């Protein structure tokens, strides 16, 4: 069902491989909205007594067990999650407990550098953001001059790196 009319025998095409619920390999031309070891904002398709199932751009949804939910997930709402392989089941699962997947010990950014941001949390000081799919940073309310919401993907700039490796971010380039 993923074969398009413009495909011909011998054509090279890009596909995404995953296992279905019966552990059979599926090749699809659909592109997932999240990949393993990445963060994304996804909508809950259904919530059950076992956990939540998130839409990810494929026919198969991503599972978030209750133990991996920082707050209880509800159908129709969007949450920022991290996708990883569960070592016990060898299945892909997501977690909204994001801090355990962010690393500010070894930084790969410098002040003034343009970075990709994913807003994941509001705080009394501003918004926490995931920087380049790797680090955690903060945009202070006083540095925000546009509408910002959890789940937004934005370009930002490293404003300051503190002694404890916490990162201040600005949405405007310095100068």
Contact between residue 33 and residue 44 where contact means Cβ atoms under 8 Å apart: no
For 86, the token pair is 């569960």
Report the pLDDT value the prediction gives residue 68, as an integer from 0 to 100. Answer: 97
Q: What is the pLDDT of residue 10?
A: 93
Q: Output the pTM of the full model.
A: 0.88
Can you give the length of the chain in residues?
175
- 11 pLDDT exceeds 80? yes
Q: What is the pLDDT of residues 44-95, one digit of tens each?
A: 999 999 999 999 999 889 999 999 999 999 999 999 999 999 888 878 899 9
Mean pLDDT across the stretch 9-13?
91
Strands 25-28 and 16-19: antiparallel
The average pLDDT across 138-159 equals 96
Burial class (CB in 10 A: 0-12, 13-18, 19+), 64: buried
Q: What is the pLDDT of residue 78?
A: 97
Interatomic CA distance for residues 78 and 131, integer angstroms: 19
Which residue carries 């009319």 as its tokens? Answer: 5
């Amino acid at each position: 069902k993923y074969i398009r009319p413009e495909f011909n025998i011998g054509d090279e095409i890009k596909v995404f491989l995953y296992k279905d619920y019966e552990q059979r390999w599926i090749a699809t031309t659909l592109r997932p909205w999240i990949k393993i070891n990445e963060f994304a904002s996804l909508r809950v398709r259904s919530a059950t007594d076992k956990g939540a199932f998130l839409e990810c751009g494929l026919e198969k949804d991503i599972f978030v067990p209750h133990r991996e939910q920082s707050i209880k997930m509800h159908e129709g709402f969007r949450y920022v999650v991290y996708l990883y392989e569960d070592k016990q089941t060898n299945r892909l699962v997501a977690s909204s407990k994001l801090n355990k997947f962010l690393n500010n010990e070894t930084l790969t950014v410098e002040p003034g550098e343009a970075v990709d941001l994913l807003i994941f949390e509001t705080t009394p000081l501003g918004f926490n953001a995931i920087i380049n799919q790797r680090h955690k940073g903060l945009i202070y309310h006083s540095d925000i001059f546009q509408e910002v919401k959890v789940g937004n993907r934005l370009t930002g700039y490293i404003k300051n790196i503190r002694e404890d490796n916490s990162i201040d971010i600005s949405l405007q380039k310095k100068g």
